Amino acid sequence: MPTFTTNQWAILLLVLILGWLLGLMSRSGGRRWKKAYESERSDGIRYRSDADAKLTAANTRIAELEAELKTERDRATQVATARGATDDLGLIRGIGRGGATQLNGLGIHRYEDITTMTAADETALETRMGAEPGYIARERWREQAEMLAANRLDDHRRLFA
């Protein structure tokens, strides 16, 4: 540890006192900075409250649109069911009862809807259902839907049961 001489201690003490005095004299400048800080802080609070209001309005609109979409899907399902235009999509391996309900909610009610899907439609459907890419092709939904549409239940059970 370095040792200080008496002169060095005296200089250190004078520097500390000088710094303290300069700090006391510059307090009026501190008020200016404090006012600027408070101004920026109030602007930030105002900005945050505006952003929160916009976010709340957007979330409310999203909830309204989702409710409308659900109503439309329910109406489409009811119309399709009333017409007898729905097939039992739950028979297809890889769909099941829950998946059939989800597909009906997405507007797919018949085996024909599955057999006429393009590769792009499959990819979009997998994304909307939260399935991994290529799931529909791996489970051979089109082939199964064709068999079930042709009423070849025994062949379907034998191959996919």
Between 34-43, 47-56, 68-77, the lowest mean confidence (pLDDT) is in 68-77
Quote the DSSP letter at residue 91.
Answer: G
Distance in angstroms (rounded) separating the CA atoms of residues 69 and 61: 12
Q: Residues 6 or more apart from 72 whose CB is under 8 A from it?
A: none
How far apart, in whole angstroms, are the C-alpha atoms of residue 55 and residue 57?
A: 5
pTM of the full structure: 0.49
What average pLDDT does range 125-133 have in this prediction?
A: 88
Sole residue written with tokens 């529909």: 136
Whether the per-residue pLDDT at 83 is higher than 70: the answer is no
Span 39-63, pLDDT tens digits:
888 888 888 888 999 999 999 999 9
Q: What is the DSSP letter of 89?
A: G
Residue-wise pLDDT tens digits, 107-127: 888 888 888 888 888 898 888
Whether 82 shows a pLDDT value over 70: the answer reads: no
Residues listed for the chain: 161
Provide the pLDDT for residue 153.
85
Please give the Cα distance from 25 to 41 (Å, whole number).
26
- The helix/strand/coil state of 5 is coil
Query: According to the model, what pLDDT value does residue 57 have?
Result: 94
Give CA angle at 74 (105, 148), nearest 5°. 45
Closest CA to 95 of 144, 133, 154: 144
